[in-house]
Amino acid sequence: MNLSEIKVFRMTHIDNIPHILQNGITHKNSPNANVNYVSIGDNSLIDTRASKTIQVTNGTLDYGDAKRICLGDFIPFYFWLRMPMLYIIQRGFHNVVKRNPEEIVYLVCIPSKLADQYSEVYFSDGHAADKFSVLYDKTALNKIETILDWKAIKARDWGGDENLDIKRKKEAEFLVKADIASDFIIGFGCYNEVAKQKLISFGIEEVKIKVIHQYYY
């Protein structure tokens, strides 16, 4: 696996796409944030991350003076599709508004290009808020192929107490502390032809859109 071939994915509501095309993927506290943003996330988790700080240890044991970052300051991505969070969104669990799959769109970016453009970029080897996960800065990107558990990330079976660590590692994150220009979005994944046609109506080139219903629940 070549670093330039690794992709990261961010889910959003399809109604957010016009704003994203014009302003990029914006942080909720950005001056350019979407005032009509349609949330698909778990508000309790979002609130927790707003003040959750973690150390950037790069996997070392001696990290007493390691830098700390606040997760809420960053725009998070996953390294794969069909994540546990999507299951929650589609089922309406944890007080999350239930969404039909055709409402949810994947934004696809290349992490190495984001790291070249933006100064504060990090990644975790599991769910970033989990105490067992390790956070790395972009100097470790050249080792990301061996740091992350790709089998867990791409696993389709992650439920049950026996798979808790698979679930944690599956939710490894890529974090960017900046609004991300729309030019860095290389593709869009959607559930069906109806969603695809809506994306095309927003002005997205058809060649950039893939119908990937198999990556929904």
Q: What is the pLDDT of residues 101-152, one digit of tens each?
A: 999 999 999 999 999 999 999 999 999 999 999 999 999 999 999 999 999 9
Using CB atoms within 10 Å of the CB of residue 55, give its burial: 0 to 12 exposed, 13 to 18 middle, 19+ buried. middle
Buried b (16+ CB within 10 A) or exposed e, 153-182: bebeebeeeeeeebbbbbbbbbbbebbbeb
Q: With DSSP H G I counted as helix, E B as strand and the rest as coil, what are the percentages for the chain, rounded to 5?
A: 40, 20, 40
Contact 8, 174 (CB under 8 A): yes
- 26 pLDDT band, cuts 50/70/90, is very high
When computed from its CA atoms, the radius of gyration of the chain, rounded to whole angstroms, is 17
Three-class DSSP category at 125: coil
Q: Identify the pLDDT of residue 91.
A: 98
In sequence order, which ranges of 52-202 are alpha helices (DSSP H)?
84-91, 111-117, 144-147, 150-153, 164-170, 193-201
- 61 pLDDT band, cuts 50/70/90, is confident
Residues 6+ apart with CB under 8 A from 95: 42, 43, 44
Average pLDDT for 8-37: 99
More confident residue, 152 or 160: 152
**Where are the domains positioned within the chain?**
3-215
Any idea which residue has 């046609």 for tokens?
197
Q: Identify the pLDDT of residue 162.
A: 80
Three-class DSSP category at 11: strand
Q: Identify the pLDDT of residue 163.
A: 80
Q: Identify the pLDDT of residue 1.
A: 73
